[in-house]
Amino acid sequence: MKINMITAFLLLTAALLPAQAQNTQAVVVKQNGDKIYLDTSSLSDAVHTGDIFKIITKSEPLINPKTGKNLGEVYEYSAPGTITEVQPLYAIGEIKNAPAFPIGAQAVLQTAQEKAVQPAKKDAAGKNVSSRAVFTYEPIEQVIVGISEGNITTPNQIVTLSDKGQITVFSAQKDKLTLVLTAALPSGSKPIALSVADIKNTGSSQIFASFYNLSRKTIQTAVLENEAGALKTTDTLNFFVKEVGCAPQKTLWGQTPFVLGERPGNARKVIFDGQKWQLDKQDVNTRRQWLTNLNFYPYEKEQEGLVYISSNGAVRMQIGEERWASSKSLFASTPNRVKYKQEAVKFYPSLQIYTHENAPVVTAVQNTAKLGLLADLFGQYKEGKIHFLSLEKGRLVISDTVELDGYVYATACTQDAILTAEVLEDGFSSVKAIAK
């Protein structure tokens, strides 16, 4: 009966969608001759340079004269134009010999033809086969929501955070992960993210586990350290913490949520002054993104650029002072949510960026929902993919894909690999190291 109800709902939803909804609409907010400025802030799909757009110049209802039934709107359009510049909240396009359009007129965008790519190799099950080396450890009985690497008792140990708040330090031995140390977050905690870094410069890494405190209704971070062969919580920070970058050069950043909403504040480096943890005074505008789906990188003259997953699922990458590159809209699905200030906050899977042959490579997670739209709303996922994206002619293009048997909450960047954990059925997870 449930399946029938869901099917009926989806069919009804599809039937109610007007034909016009198959395209992407924006709104004219300014015109300067042939140059048209479009508000794209509420679009569900990414806009790219080279996309085609048309302005709706007239519409009228189409009525069946016999039955009187309204069959929908009939539209008239302007000549087509081309998107020439894309910014985070608006786009600029040009229409040759454009007439004056009213402010508020709707525009319809159509994605430009994608670049032809060679078909991916398939295995016997029909999945893509990547040429990258992938090392898989035996599954462990955890649902891993956070993962990182560091030196807790010995170098290059794998640290995990489970959905139950368990923090575990593993040593890798052949294809097995051997438990070394373990600890737990306080009861009433919703785990969000894990980071591992030696901010104190002691030679032993500190562990930072960010969580939502259900009783206090605040986001906090537990700091754990190895003391005499045991993991002990040495401090609790009243802000969100996430590592950024690849080991051994990764850094640690913090954010404080806005008081009246679920959006985060700007990012500041986490420092230790010898007595206490605090956030550095200088901040970086993260464009209202949580640090889980954001990374920094030097884009020119050693200045910091941003790469992040936007709310419509596109990866956006800064490539100059006012220039941005975007990917397809594949990456907004995330299984990790908390209820903060009456809002459902989505923490997207981690986004990594590194340099290969002097060119940036972005890695992002795409999770597939079990039952489409409804499953996505309730966090029911079946499998994931790790996509590697390269910058080609101002666009982020998928250059390689590693398909997984489970879905993914987080990734981490080591010196040689992208580290992740695929969540399998029956409460198990399998850690993978994917060669850069």
Q: What is the pLDDT of residues 251-307, one digit of tens each?
A: 999 998 765 556 788 999 999 999 999 999 999 999 889 999 999 987 665 567 899
Do 159 and 209 belong to one domain?
A: yes
Please tell me which residue, 379 or 106, carries the higher pLDDT value. 106
The domain boundary residue, chosen from 45, 77, 110: 110
Confirm whether 3 is domain-assigned.
no
Confirm whether 300 is domain-assigned.
yes
Q: CB–CB of 347/334 below 8 Å?
A: yes
pLDDT at 19 over 80: no
Angle at 248 between CA 246 and CA 251, to 5 degrees: 65
Q: What is the pLDDT of residues 192-208, one digit of tens each?
A: 999 999 999 999 999 99
Confirm whether 416 is domain-assigned.
yes
Q: CB–CB of 99/108 below 8 Å?
A: no
Q: Which run of H or of E encompasses 374?
A: helix 373-378
Do 191 and 65 belong to one domain?
A: no
CB count, 10 Å around CB of 337?
Answer: 15
Q: Are strands 35-39 and 24-32 parallel, antiparallel or unpaired?
A: antiparallel
Do 286 and 233 belong to one domain?
A: yes
Letter string b/e over residues 389-398, b meaning 16 or more CB atoms within 10 A of that residue's CB: bebeeebbeb
Confirm whether 129 is domain-assigned.
no
Q: How far does CA 430 lie from the centroid of its chain?
A: 21
Q: CB–CB of 348/334 below 8 Å?
A: yes
Do 101 and 233 belong to one domain?
A: no
Q: Which two tokens stand for residue 30?
A: 């300014």
Domain, as residue range, for 207: 134-435
Q: CB–CB of 408/421 below 8 Å?
A: yes
Confirm whether 339 is domain-assigned.
yes
Q: Which residue in 288, 228, 214 sits closest to 257, CA to CA?
A: 288
Q: What is the pLDDT of residues 319-366, one digit of tens each?
A: 877 789 999 999 988 888 887 767 778 889 999 999 988 889 999 999
CA 77 – CA 252 distance, rounded (Å): 51
Q: Are strands 24-32 and 166-173 parallel, antiparallel or unpaired?
A: unpaired
Do 241 and 139 belong to one domain?
A: yes
**Domain at 34, CATH number:** 2.40.10.410
State which amino acid sits at residue 192.
I
Residue 434 CB partners (closer than 8 Å, separation 6+): 132, 133, 134, 386, 402, 417, 418, 419, 420
- Domain count for the chain, please give it: 2
